[in-house]
Structure 1
């Protein structure tokens, strides 16, 4: 049976978190099941968290089924040759009502050795931030392992970390080994490698309703931390109706599209594209068929679709593997 070409949307995989809130509903329109929903996984090939198609011909199929049946049509030959049948990206929305733990992710080599997994390089795009909201990214200048261990033991780790006030549209690139935390009051979109490996090193001494603290991974984190200063906050252009590059790295590329009229794209059929509507409403026009999307929607354009356009007034993130 030949592959049916259309933009694919997946059922959000919602995750309750101790730090979660309700903005995934109030800001993005997700149908949440509690007042502590911290994450919406919009597309995932992570084992035990594989996305299910929500629309069209393949509604009800999971991402693994589709890739198994149509690897080159869905992923593209470049992606298939590089990653096999593993979907290489994980995309989420995160709502931090409270501070997330201070954490980091191992690189590919360490993650494979310890967990048979990829590492976790990620990028954040801030969609909404309460007044005074901030993120914690990397150490202040001149911090070494001895400083880190001393402050960790004394429960003063936040004092040597770099806190940055944020607002809508801010972007942060989090390389593996970078200590980080999303602060309370921040709603963001996160693009990352397909990995769920996180080392939590400090959790603000909080406990759950039963008085239990969450597991820390201090020993695992020791060899995974990168103490070198990094460029974490990214500046990017915002030219209308074109793709403005935000980040290019070995794992993903992300463009910013401020759409006022129409955006045309002729893409290679050797890789898929993924779009996130962060504001407004838009229409994807593919082979004269029209598909309408709005703020909070995440859309997979299969590799087999070579040409299409997007119309409307919206802002979008365009994501692909370069």
Structure 2
């Protein structure tokens, strides 16, 4: 019914100022709000949250706005309410009937707080907390950049609490050097932090519940030590089974499988010359363009241009949808485990 009406939906970013943020999002050809002294830490690319945490998203609801075509100015929430499965396919929505994904860019000019996200057990027992598992794809990394992922073997709750008091938490964290193109899965319960000098794409479950446990000596921001300790998985983060890092070279593009988990799949594509692809996705997909340009074409619109730094939600089963792009165009694609296997780049 809606196939001829629907088209790839360009999403307006929602910018968040953060004490640890900077202006590195300009590398994605973004015109950022404010001045050079305005610290933009996050760009929410796809958000459909009826509530956010005060310490994370600011406490108010956040719903991405559509930036193109007939639905321009409507929120993703409004489209889901009016069009239902035409937008979401067979995806199970959240308990509040929202899209089951939150997608961001993060600019860590300085270290993010050391933090823990709620486990499902904790979220089930606390109505204001929501499960949060996520991944980071590294877009830019200064020399020597690291992430912190997990705590060292033998760390106990008592040792960690003492380290907070003595300002020695870093000594207990596992430090992982990163380079452009690396991708890391961070399951709920992992003690972690994005280190300074990193620009990352973040794909996660639809939650911004964050328990800060250490803030590098910064003052004025609330810590949530007891809640974090209830959720924290002590020890190294065993995530290799979620990070296949398998590259397949196809006729028109290469595909690297970055993350495979029960909540979402994340792949990176790099287009070769003469890239043209008919898209026949039966579930929604999300594309974040990192380099290059091109355009979509479908019955609802013959030409929908895209370029570096833009994010699109592509509803399922769009009538006669094709995409063309320049050589070297690079994008991240988020799909869902219940979707049909992708055989386009086989």
- Which TM-score applies when normalising by structure 2? 0.84
Please tell me whether residue 71 in structure 1 is matched to residue 84 in structure 2: yes
How far, CA to CA, are the matches of 2:21 and 2:88 in structure 1? 32
Please tell me whether residue 168 in structure 1 is matched to residue 211 in structure 2: no
Q: Quick one: structure 1 residues 75 and 83, their matched pair in 2 at CA, closer, same or farther if it must change by over 3 Å?
A: farther
Pairwise mapping of residues 187-226 of structure 1 onto structure 2 (< 5 A)? 187-207=199-219, 213-226=220-233
Say which of 311, 327, 337 aligns to 1:298: 311
Say which of 215, 220, 236 aligns to 2:245: 236
How far, CA to CA, are the matches of 1:187 and 1:249 in structure 2? 23
Report the aligned-residue RMSD. 2.2
How far, CA to CA, are the matches of 2:31 and 2:206 in structure 1? 23
Q: Could you say which residue in structure 1 is the equivalent of 2:143?
A: 131
Q: Could you say which residue in structure 2 is the equivalent of 1:42?
A: 45
Tell me if structure 2 keeps the 8 A contact 1:25–1:32. Answer: no
- How much has 1:244 moved relative to structure 2? 2.8
Q: Which runs of 5+ in 2 are unaligned?
A: 51-60, 338-346
Tell me if structure 1 keeps the 8 A contact 2:244–2:257. Answer: no
Pairwise mapping of residues 252-271 of structure 1 onto structure 2 (< 5 A)? 252-261=264-273, 262=275, 264=277, 266-269=279-282, 271=283
Runs of 4+ in 1 over 6 A off after TM superposition: 81-84
How far, CA to CA, are the matches of 1:128 and 1:45 in structure 2? 27
How far, CA to CA, are the matches of 1:30 and 1:236 in structure 2? 32
Tell me if structure 2 keeps the 8 A contact 1:53–1:63. Answer: yes
Tell me if structure 2 keeps the 8 A contact 1:140–1:162. Answer: yes
Q: Which runs of 5+ in 1 are unaligned?
A: 208-212
Please tell me whether residue 309 in structure 1 is matched to residue 318 in structure 2: no
Deviations 1:50-72 (A, max 9, x none): 11111111001011110000011
How far, CA to CA, are the matches of 1:185 and 1:87 in structure 2? 31
- How much has 1:265 moved relative to structure 2? 5.4
Size of the aligned set, in residue pairs, is: 315
How far, CA to CA, are the matches of 2:263 and 2:201 in structure 1? 17
Q: Quick one: structure 1 residues 265 and 180, their matched pair in 2 at CA, closer, same or farther if it must change by over 3 Å?
A: farther
> 2:12 is paired with a residue of what secondary structure?
coil
Deviations 1:95-146 (A, max 9, x none): 1111110001012231232134531100100001111221111112332323
How far, CA to CA, are the matches of 2:102 and 2:166 in structure 1? 35
> 1:256 is paired with a residue of what secondary structure?
strand
- Which TM-score applies when normalising by structure 1? 0.90
- How much has 1:84 moved relative to structure 2? 7.0
Please tell me whether residue 152 in structure 1 is matched to residue 164 in structure 2: yes
